[in-house]
Amino acid sequence: MIMMRPVHRLLFFLACLACLVNGCKSNPLEVDISGIELQVTLERFDQALFEMDQDTLDRAIDALYVQYGDFFDVYNVHVISIGQASSRRYPSYLSMFINDPTNREVYEYTNQVFASTHELEEELSDGFRHYLYHFPDSVPPRVVAYVSRFNQGLFTVSHFIGVGLDQYLGSDCPYYQQMGTPKYLVQKKEPARVPLDVMTAWATSIYPYNDSLDNVLSRMIWHGQIAWFVDAMYPGVDEMLKMGFMEDQMKWCRNNERQMWTHLVEEKLLFSSDPLNIRKLVEDAPYTSFYTSESPGRAAVWQGWQIVKAYAERFPRMTVRQIMSQRNYQELLRESRYDP
């Protein structure tokens, strides 16, 4: 028989105790993606646009349309609002946009912040390798960067995700202060958020909201599913960064989870279909007005995420695809047996 030395027995005992305290649970979303080969490129449409040869503008526009297709249409019509590339006056409108001094200044500032996108591409690749692990029959989208003078941060169309890099210039960027952007939004404008927001946009496009019964509970759980999807794609990223919370806001949610839930139940807010109540609970704000001023905006989204987590823990054999496909939000809550 092999005898343990006293110090080894103590270490073994402490390891067992820690295992009991923490439930010896590993994160089921931590999966092995080492065998999945994928390298995501952040396509720099912004550079192609602002550095195009304007002496041969018509030819350059045709080349962009061939390369970017539906993305190019949405960017022109809905992001910078200059109309379709087929319009007779489109070349002159595009030339004005490119040569506008403020637009060029914003582009150049953006180009400095994102002088290298290697780290960003590695993060995107990691997320979409997880995506291929859970959805092996899928094709990852093309991720295309643009600058829109702060008009729009993200959009999806067909097999593209457009990401406005000028919305991720860092919380110390002077442009946001000049525009009077609220602090609770500025804190989310860090370059590190790009991969998370890209994945959120992709999840939203493939799992749109089921609005057959629109109320607070349905919105909470749908947003919670989207947050859980992003968690599955980036299991190693801190919860605080995923939610865009500050440290004290994250602590507030964890310390007040039961009180939040009790308040929603007692005030009969869960099944409220009042659009104002829904917005107050799930949309960005300085804080959640139904709670205290120490709470973060979107606190109910975090709670919806906890409900989806509880559901996934109850049904560990369900795949990410199966959990994301649950569209009866009230049934998901019931089967989760959520009890904070």
Sort residue 81 into left (φ over 0), alpha (ψ -120 to 50) or beta.
left
Distance CA 230, CA 136 (A): 17
- 211 pLDDT band (50/70/90 cuts)? confident
Distance CA 31, CA 72 (A): 36
Secondary structure (3-state) at 195? helix
- Tokens at residue 141, please? 């989208």
Report the run of H or E that residue 62 belongs to, with start and end. Answer: helix 57-74
Burial of 186 (0-12, 13-18, 19+ CB in 10 A): middle
Secondary structure (3-state) at 207? coil
What pLDDT, on the 0 to 100 scale, is given for residue 261?
Answer: 97
pTM for the full predicted model: 0.90
The arithmetic mean of pLDDT across residues 253-271, rounded, is 96
Q: For residues 19-58, b (16+ Cβ closer than 10 Å) or e, as one string?
A: eeeeeeeeeebeeebeebeeebebbbbbbbbbebeeeebe
The arithmetic mean of pLDDT across residues 156-170, rounded, is 96
What pLDDT, on the 0 to 100 scale, is given for residue 220?
Answer: 97
What pLDDT, on the 0 to 100 scale, is given for residue 27?
Answer: 82
- 7 pLDDT band (50/70/90 cuts)? very low
**Mean pLDDT taken over the chain:** 91
What pLDDT, on the 0 to 100 scale, is given for residue 25?
Answer: 56
From the list 68, 36, 32, 34, the residue with the least C-alpha distance to 49 is 68
